[in-house]
């Protein structure tokens, strides 16, 4: 596959880690939420959560509670979880069924599932009040490979433009057909960028992940996305292992019959700004949603996607255990990085060519923050 390049080729000599304040400043976190998350297409999970009209979930994006739903006509929609009357939160649960309308439980303002204000008791007594002026505030929503993405900006950049590099890239994995087989939530004592950087290189694997290192040699593979908001590539699954599981045996059926012979011995890892980490293996896909909570705390939600047959005949626990072990090793070490970087004597250190991906991620991050790489160092 000619599009895969050797990592070293993409390395910018002299790359260094980000300065201290990017990891400890509450102000920079606020800037990030405004400049990156509040302008970007944030993954909120799988479309399979919203099957019937009236199905909804609530999710937090850049500090905003958003209602994501399928309206009465079957269209996917997203709304700010805020009544237009006195601001009350409308939906309290993580998920549920709305029925025909969304009614505020305070003064009974009532909205259609497409956001139109239908009823507002006694407001007809207020001069000039027009229900058409008070629909729910909408957020933009898109679906890609079975994932849902929400953008809370007033004028979002079109998904098709921003995500152009990804649109057809992973089609052969047939992810829309997969179902959720497992779900887990982690609380990480580190800045969210450390989670991305950690995911982006395997130079640490021999030290931190002795089990993983026997299955996925850190010097194997290559990257096909080496600059920009989407980064990553593949690693080789080392024979006789057939997948990244505790036993080395597959956890279930191939995710798609379209996978090439090469794909069947590879594991793919992509960071997709601003909040999605996507791992594809021959027999399962696991992904991570990264939620910044404070400068030194991040919540990571993860789901495992599998072929429907795997849930019955497969052994998904074999893969879950493999990654749960690996993830906990990662959260532990990024917690130690967070502590060390907080030192006033910390200064940006040198990236090696084996860390070209975190270096590229940092560049894209600075670009989205509107800062030049030079001025950050």
Q: Tell me which of 21, 75, 92, 185 binds a second copy, using CB under 8 A.
A: 92
Contact string 326-355 vs a second copy (x = CB under 8 A): -------x--xx-xxxxxxxx--xxxxxx-
Report d(CA 157, CA 269) in Å as an integer.
25
**According to the binding rule CB under 8 A, does residue 107 interact with a second copy?**
yes
Note the Cα 209 to chain centre separation in Å: 23
Q: Tell me which of 27, 52, 74, 126 binds a second copy, using CB under 8 A.
A: 126
- Helix/strand/coil (H/E/C) assignment for every residue in 66-102: EEEEECCCCCEEEEECCCCCCCCCCCCCCEEECCCEE
Instruction: Write down how long the chain is.
Output: 377
Q: Where are the alpha helices (DSSP H) in the chain?
A: 21-24, 26-35, 159-162, 192-199, 205-208, 210-215, 310-313, 316-341, 356-368
Report d(CA 202, CA 212) in Å as an integer.
10
Contact string 287-326 vs a second copy (x = CB under 8 A): ----------------------------------------
User: CB-wise, 242 or 355, nearer to a second copy?
Assistant: 355
**According to the binding rule CB under 8 A, does residue 269 interact with a second copy?**
no
Cα 247 to Cα 189, 214, 232, 265, 279: the distances in Å are 30, 11, 26, 15, 19
Residues 32-51 touching a second copy, rule: CB under 8 A, are 38
Tell the smallest beta-carbon distance from residue 28 to a second copy (Å): 16
**According to the binding rule CB under 8 A, does residue 116 interact with a second copy?**
no
In the three-class reduction of DSSP (H, G, I as helix; E, B as strand; rest coil), residue 184 is classed as strand
Residues 60-79 touching a second copy, rule: CB under 8 A, are 63-65
120, 132 contact by CB (below 8 A): no
**According to the binding rule CB under 8 A, does residue 208 interact with a second copy?**
yes
**According to the binding rule CB under 8 A, does residue 127 interact with a second copy?**
yes
Segment interacting with a second copy (CB under 8 A) among 57-65, 167-175, 268-276, 277-285: 57-65
**According to the binding rule CB under 8 A, does residue 99 interact with a second copy?**
no
Q: Can you name the residues that pair with 144 across neighbouring β-strands? A: 147
**According to the binding rule CB under 8 A, does residue 259 interact with a second copy?**
no
Choose among 297, 296, 302: nearest CA to 324.
Answer: 302
Q: Where on the chain is the footprint of a second copy (CB under 8 A)?
A: 8, 13-14, 17, 20, 38, 63-65, 80-90, 92, 105-108, 120-123, 125-129, 134, 137, 152, 197, 203-204, 206-208, 333, 336-337, 339-346, 349-354
């Amino acid at each position: 596959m000619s599009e895969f390049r050797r990592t070293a080729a993409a390395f910018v000599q002299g790359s260094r880690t980000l300065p201290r304040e990017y990891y400890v400043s509450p102000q920079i976190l606020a800037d990030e939420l405004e400049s990156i998350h509040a302008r970007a297409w944030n993954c909120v999970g799988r479309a399979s959560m919203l099957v019937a009209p009236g199905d909804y979930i609530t999710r937090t994006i850049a500090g905003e509670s958003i209602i994501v739903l399928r309206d009465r006509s079957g269209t996917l929609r997203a709304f700010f979880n805020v009544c237009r009357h006195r601001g009350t939160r409308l939906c309290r649960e993580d998920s549920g069924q709305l029925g025909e309308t969304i009614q505020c439980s305070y003064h009974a303002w009532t909205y259609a599932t497409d956001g139109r204000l239908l009823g507002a008791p006694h407001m007809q007594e207020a001069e000039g009040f027009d229900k058409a002026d008070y629909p729910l505030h909408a957020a933009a929503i898109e679906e890609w490979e079975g994932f849902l993405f929400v953008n809370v900006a007033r004028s979002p950049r079109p998904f098709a433009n921003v995500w152009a590099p990804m649109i057809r890239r992973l089609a052969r994995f047939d992810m829309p057909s997969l179902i959720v087989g497992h779900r887990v939530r982690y609380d990480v004592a580190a800045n969210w960028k450390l989670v991305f950087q950690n995911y982006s290189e395997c130079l640490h694997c021999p030290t931190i992940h002795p089990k993983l290192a026997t299955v996925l040699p850190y010097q194997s593979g290559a990257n096909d996305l080496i600059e920009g908001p989407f980064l990553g590539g593949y690693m080789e699954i080392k024979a006789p292992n057939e997948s990244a599981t505790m036993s080395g045996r597959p956890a279930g059926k191939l995710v798609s019959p379209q996978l090439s012979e090469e794909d069947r011995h590879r594991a793919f890892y992509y960071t997709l700004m601003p909040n999605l980490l996507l791992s594809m293996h021959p027999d399962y896909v696991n992904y991570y949603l990264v939620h910044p909570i404070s400068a030194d705390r991040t919540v990571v939600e993860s789901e495992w996607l599998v072929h429907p047959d795997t849930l019955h005949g497969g052994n998904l626990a074999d893969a879950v255990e493999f990654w749960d072990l690996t993830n906990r090793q990662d959260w532990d070490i990024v917690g130690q990085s967070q502590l060390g970087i907080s030192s006033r004597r910390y200064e940006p250190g040198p990236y090696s060519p084996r860390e070209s991906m975190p270096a590229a991620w940092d560049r894209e991050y600075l670009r989205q923050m509107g800062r030049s790489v030079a001025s950050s160092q």
